[in-house]
Amino acid sequence: MTDASSLTPLDPDAAAPAGTQTLMRGLAVVQAVADGARDLKELCARIGVARSTTHRLASCLVQERYLRVLPGVGYVLGPKLIELGFQAREAFPLATLARPYLDGLAELTGDTIHLAVRDNDEVLYLEKIPGKKGLEMRSRVGHRMPLAATGVGKALLLDADEPQWKALHRVGGPVSSRAPGGQQGWEAFRERMRGYAAQGYAFDLEDNEPSIRCVAAPVRDASSGIVAAISVSSTVPYMSLERMDEMVPAVRDAAMRISAELGWIIPAAASARPGRPAAS
């Protein structure tokens, strides 16, 4: 049970310690609470500072609303951090945050790079970096395409349920039958989506535009929800099925790096994966 006396903030008029070391310790307290520390004893153990100093730091953070104290729970992150998080997100639009990683992926692959978000039943393209191989695609910034027919659209739908997949397939599914097996009906689409959802990426196998293939991956924010997707696209001569498989790690890596910029915590298993290519 949490020691209530250890959570009571000091006198608001009490002066906080000064200096860079104090700043770093205060940030360490916030991080410790974010990692699950709930009482003073646990905070002291996490940051390695004396109880009195830790108490004073935590009290100042509560006073300034960076932390709060919940009865029966202990220290939790405070409303000031929520406010700052939204301000930080608004200050750096998604396309701005993503651009360095998109540029890195473009340099790595030489292919066309897209960044897109969901807009109702469609994909809305926010960014496009043309490839270096002289081919043109009809996509452009501000352009919309059906979710179910595009690689980025499928990546945006990886967390959706099957009824939603079916509804979107019905209104704007793949317009061709160029995927392996030549079938683009609902059952074939569902099986492909099940595989993509399990693997965390999606392909466009000429579903939307003749001779165009792409590898796509979702971008997540701090809530772990999918908020965008990126893709690498090229024509069939440059994008064999073997090359598509080889490019998956790089595309997923770039998507995870953008996700980290949005506050998503990369799972340990993903970050520890050997041989993950850098996208920047």
pLDDT on residue 216: 97
pLDDT value, residue 134: 66
Instruction: Please check whether residues 132 and 240 belong to one and the same domain.
Output: yes
Q: Are strands 202-205 and 144-146 parallel, antiparallel or unpaired?
A: unpaired
Q: Are 105 and 159 members of one domain?
A: yes
Q: Is the pTM of this model over 0.85?
A: no
Cα–Cα distance, 111 to 105 (Å, whole number)? 8
On whether the CB atoms of residues 43 and 33 are closer than 8 A, the answer is yes
In sequence order, which residues have a C-beta less than 8 Å from that of residue 194 and are 6 or more positions away? none
Closest CA relative to residue 229, chosen from 148, 145, 155: 155
User: For the segment 12-38, what is each residue's pLDDT rounded down to a tens digit?
Assistant: 334 445 578 889 999 999 999 999 999
Say how many domains are in the chain: 2
Dihedral of CA atoms 142, 145, 146, 151 in degrees, nearest 10, equals -100
Condensed to tens digits (0 to 9), the pLDDT of residues 203-233 reads 999 888 888 899 999 999 988 999 999 999 9
- Identity of the amino acid at 6: S
CATH of the domain at 25: 1.10.10.10
Q: How far apart are CA 101 and CA 183, in angstroms?
A: 35
Q: Which domain holds residue 240?
A: 92-271
Q: What is the pLDDT of residue 185?
A: 85
**Alpha carbons 253 and 262: distance in angstroms, whole number:** 14
Last residue of a domain, one of 55, 87, 119: 87
Q: Residue 201 in contact with residue 151, Cβ under 8 Å?
A: no
Q: How far apart are CA 108 and CA 211, in angstroms?
A: 22
Most confident of 59-63, 79-83, 166-170: 59-63
